[in-house]
Amino acid sequence: MGFRPHPPRGWRRAEGCRSPAAYLPDDLVVEILSRLPARSLCRFKCVSRSWRALISDRFSFAQTLSGFFFSSRRDIAAGPPCGFAGLPPPLPRVDTALSFLPPSGGAIELLDSCCNGLLLLLCSREPGSPLPPFYVVCNPVTPEWVALPQPSHAPGTSQVLDVKRITGAAIGFDPTFSPHFYVFQLHHVAIQCQEHVEVVEIYSSGSNKWVLKESGWKRQWVCFCGRDSTFFNGSLHFAIPFDKVASVDTRGQSWRVTVVRPGEDDSYDHVFGQIVGHSQGRLLYMDADCWKNVFSIFVLEDYSRDEWTFRQSISMMDLFGPPS
């Protein structure tokens, strides 16, 4: 029988103290920790100094919301194009009045409140000008802005007899997906209360061009208002009537409509009041039931499947208190 020397005691103890997590690369640790709720994430700061540094890194994890922009359409003479609600003290680096924007001569409307720091604005011309409005994308922190070229369909609303044509737009930017931002313009046609998206134009800052795509939603009742959308996993997602979510990717090749509450009738109780967002790597859907005063939250656990899972209900009275 051969003799096998016993390892030094100190070496053995040091090896036993090493956690399997110590061998994981930082990128993988960040990917795992980013899926945890805020309370659990704070607790994991105590695991090690390296984890504490990763969790405290503002570039690795989203920071606490310090303020947000909201729509407030006004004429230039009346004030800034949008409002800003923030926690004190005010942010010194953010030009909340957007005073760096070029003069357009008309009203400026905030179309998309924020997408990873970028705002989408619609700037009107001077009164009486034959030129159509134009889109501007800006970063209030830098401050930088860019005016987009005109799409095939001019932004705005027009009506001929009983046919009403409406355009809506939203911005998509995710630096983990692409260094470029995208703008989606959806062109609606409304005839006697029946509304559907006819075409979608997609702008890419990489090519500085619009690409026109015929709608792949097969004339379903898909209406888009812009402010209840989110950009996630390379696609624009937004709520549509009857507890459904419509999605289109940046190339205009993937068109999806998923049903959040399968098996339920198309009741008008679930036509409006829905919001789509994302958090911790998952797509979320929130429905506001004003009859029951309850918010219902659903989550799409697996993006490759069209199965939404009910997460929880929240009482409006618990959130906002009794009506005054």
Q: Please, is 91 exposed, middle or buried when counting C-beta atoms within 10 Å of its C-beta (0-12, 13-18, 19+)?
A: middle
The answer to whether 180 and 188 are in contact (CB under 8 A) is no
> Residue 140: what pLDDT?
85
Q: What is the pLDDT of the chain when averaged over all its residues?
A: 77
Confidence band for 253, pLDDT divided at 50, 70 and 90:
very high
End position of a domain, from candidates 147, 176, 199: 147
| Number of domains the chain contains | 2
Query: Tell me, what's the pLDDT at 250?
Result: 95
Cis peptide before 89 (omega within 30 of 0): yes
Q: How far apart are CA 73 and CA 176, in angstroms?
A: 32
Q: Domain boundary at 96, 128, 147, which? A: 147
CB 226 within 8 A of CB 170: yes
| 13, containing H or E segment | helix 9-17
141 and 173 share a domain? Answer: no
Place of tokens 């390379």: 234
Split at pLDDT 50, 70, 90, the class of 251 is very high
- Say whether both 196 and 316 belong to one domain: yes
Q: Let me know if residue 50 belongs to a domain.
A: no
Amino acid at 204: S
**What does the radius of gyration of the chain's CA atoms come to, in whole angstroms?**
24
Is the pTM above the cut of 0.85? Answer: no
Whether residue 262 sits in one domain with residue 181: yes
- Of the three residues 147, 170, 193, the one that is the final residue of a domain is 147
Type of residue found at 45: K
- Decide if 227 is inside a domain: yes
Same domain? 84 vs 173 = no
Task: Indicate the length of the chain as a whole number.
Answer: 324
Domain extent at residue 97? 65-147
7-21, 89-103, 151-165, 220-234: which has the minimum mean pLDDT?
Answer: 7-21
Angle between helical axes of 49-56 and 26-33 (0-180°, round to 10): 60
